[in-house]
Amino acid sequence: MRVTGVIIRIIRQFFRDKRSLAMMFGAPMLLLWLLSLVFTQKDYVPHIAVVDMPAQVVKMMKNQEASIYEYSKEKAMYELENQKLDAVIRLENGKMNIVLEGSDSSKNHAVLQILQKSTEKNDVSIMKTEVNYLHGSKDFTMFDGLGPVLIGFFTFFFVFILSGVSFVRERLSGTLERLLSTPIKRWEIVVGYIIGFGIFAFIQSILIVSFSVYILDLYVAGSIWLTLLITCMLSLTALTLGTFLSAYANNEFQMIQFIPLVIVPQIFFSGLFPLESMNKWLQMLGKLFPLTYGADAMRQVMIRNQGFIEIALDLTVLLFFSVLFAIGNVFALKKHRKI
């Protein structure tokens, strides 16, 4: 039957395309494994410093799922500012003063819940309580906390796809081959494509940041210009990575197949999920992904109002990734034609 012939052709086509087979059977299991590692971790244990608090309250708090430290006021605030603590609780002028780190609404809620459980059975529960935020405010929403990460992710995702697919089309249409037949050097081709695509990636960065801040009213404590700089650096990294991997894709579909391996795993280590509750080896694995550094820099600026010095390391790592992928792309072009 003719139907049988079609079926046999499809089966043979799949067996010839080992990459598609790997994506179909291997990628789902890989992603499910990563999800299981992320969602089977223990609940986050907040780190709280207490200053001059009643002994019975401190004892009750230590019985909760929290790490309690008895510090001086100066040391407690220093540790809080350096993101070593989630909150500082102190008794001051007969009033309980709570200073939350504030950059993560889920951690804020965990701290307040522990404090409530620790004081509800003591006379301290009727004491006046004042809650302050080192970063953010009481109106700080989950979207405000995740927004910087989402900006970085969507910027990275779309630039990666568009640059990779466009580069594949350049090769399939013969444009790249014609360029390679001229005296132009491989590195000149790579730089030209990066700058050409980079112009549109820069425009995209401006639109995404402007829309998020001025239309969606996303919380921004720091410099909008630093936010734009980080977004552009993420775009550059995604651009160089996309063009580099496109050299190993024979068509647009194979370029899309890189998403489960290159893009999706980065979501788990970008800050959308608490990294502190993951195993140490998972935290180290996250250091291999560019989005980890981009998302961290975005949060430092947009939520914690940090300056250029504080994010310089993240930007340097992103620049290193970009240069590495660009150099890799130059060597990858050798397989098309030597110049």
Domains of the chain, by residue range, sit at: 47-133, 142-335
Q: Please state whether the predicted TM-score (pTM) of the whole model is above 0.85.
A: no
Supply the pLDDT for residue 233: 95
Cβ distance 155 to 227 under 8 Å? no
Model confidence band, residue 339 (pLDDT cutoffs 50, 70, 90):
very low
Q: Quick one: average pLDDT of 145-172?
A: 88
206-259 confidence digits (pLDDT tens): 999 999 999 988 889 889 999 999 999 999 999 999 999 988 887 888 888 888
Give the tokens for residue 56: 């019975």
Supply the pLDDT for residue 41: 65
Give the tokens for residue 126: 């009727």
Per mean pLDDT, which range of 86-95, 125-134, 198-207, 286-295 is the poorest? 125-134
The angle formed by the CA atoms of residues 196, 203 and 307, to the nearest 5 degrees, is: 110
Supply the pLDDT for residue 295: 92
Where do the DSSP E strands lie in 30-86?
Answer: 47-51, 67-70
Q: Is residue 337 over pLDDT 60?
A: no
Q: Tell me the CA distances in angstroms from 271 to 80, 130, 172, 248, 297, one per residue in order.
A: 19, 29, 37, 30, 11
117-149 confidence digits (pLDDT tens): 776 655 555 567 788 888 877 778 888 888 899
Between 333 and 5, whose confidence is greater? 333
Give the residue among 251, 253, 254, 289 at the shortest CA–CA distance from 271: 289
What letter would DSSP give residue 273? S
- C-alpha 126 chain-centroid distance: 41
Where do the DSSP E strands lie in the chain?
Answer: 47-51, 67-70, 87-92, 95-100, 129-133
Place of tokens 């650096």: 233
Supply the pLDDT for residue 54: 75
Four-CA torsion 232, 235, 241, 243, nearest 10 degrees:
-110
Between 300 and 183, whose confidence is greater? 300
Give the tokens for residue 205: 């960065």
Give the residue among 37, 257, 218, 242 at the shortest CA–CA distance from 158: 242
Q: What percent of the chain has pLDDT over 70?
A: 88
Give the C-alpha separation, 321 to 333, whole Å: 18
- What topology is assigned to 47-133 in CATH? abc type-2 transporter like fold (3.40.1710)
81 by Cβ neighbours in 10 Å (0-12 / 13-18 / 19+) ranks as middle
Cβ distance 238 to 155 under 8 Å? yes
Give the tokens for residue 119: 């004081």
Supply the pLDDT for residue 169: 85
What is the number of other CB atoms lying within 10 angstroms of the CB of residue 145? Answer: 24
Cβ distance 173 to 315 under 8 Å? no
